Structure 1
Amino acid sequence: MTAGWAAFAKTLRNGSRLIVDFALPHEFAFIEFCGDGSETVTALSDVTAIELTGPVHTCFSRYPQSICEAIMLAEARRYSRVTEHLAGVSRRGPIERTAHLLLELGCRAHRSVTGYPQRFECPLTQAQLADALGLSAVHVSRVLKDLRENGLVSFRNGVVELHDHAGLIKIAGFDRSYISS
């Protein structure tokens, strides 16, 4: 993707959905359709992308080695992100998982492997955050209010401001190595 945000989601039989990952600008976003059980992909903002056709597993027969290595690294990073998200929705409390996701998105949006941004644009709605966090939109609203009142983070008008990086990292138990490894 060269611009925009997209969400990869799994829709359950009861109509609810879980966002399992996000695609951000300057990241590879793999969209492979595998029948009825596959993920859906939804643009969350205006998206511009470059298409590489064909299955990912055949890239070495079609593209230069450097592109294939970048694809394989991006696949490994996505696997790590999805693993972290699974840990979040299954084992972290609502405040921990929200802080964790916002820190991850901030690092990815700024493409930084060492620092944390003070702020970043985030086109997500509270309902989309809820779908990514496995919470209700009302619960997300309460968690964001709690984080804001404790001087950790604020999220208004599509902009996330990270006020206390150390506090957020401590609450979330955040280790950014899964993003940059």
Structure 2
Amino acid sequence: METPHDRVPDRELVRRELTYELGVLDYCYSALLDGWGLGAESNLPLGTLTALLESFLVHVRVLDEFLGAGATRSDDLRAKQLAAAWDRPGFLEPEIRTAINKQLTHLTDPRADRPLWDVNRLAGEAGRCFLAWFDTLDDETADILRPTVESATRIVDRSSQESWHRLNLGFRWETN
């Protein structure tokens, strides 16, 4: 019996969705690195920094899921639908995926233990895994999805140049 994940989705739809995901990831990653600057303090307001980091982490998780991690729902787009030879389980380590879930999607007690997020490593892994998947596509699909490569390549290039950016979502919001 054929399931929704046995069918090849509309490649133009996939191109639009991946262009969005990679574009937002690229924007957030670049803004975090540029906004943090070279000093110990960010030149971004705390709310902006928090929103950028949370958005970055959400889009890392979405790409990880697309590239093979996590459970599949009937309307999910998955990399394997476009490249049958693709068999990787995404790129996030299970404990990192769990930490992202706990920080961003669940109000749980472990949120008190706020990890440092290695944005360079996460961005680089996302970009490299995406490009490895792209290399498995047939020529026709690759031509349609080629616009997605620009952001992924920029992310990989920047992640290999930066080495010190570890950010924490441990900001405290308090009122007097």
Same fold (TM over 0.5): no
Larger helix fraction of residues: 2
Higher relative contact order (CA 8 A, sep 6+): 2
TM-score relative to the length of structure 2 = 0.30
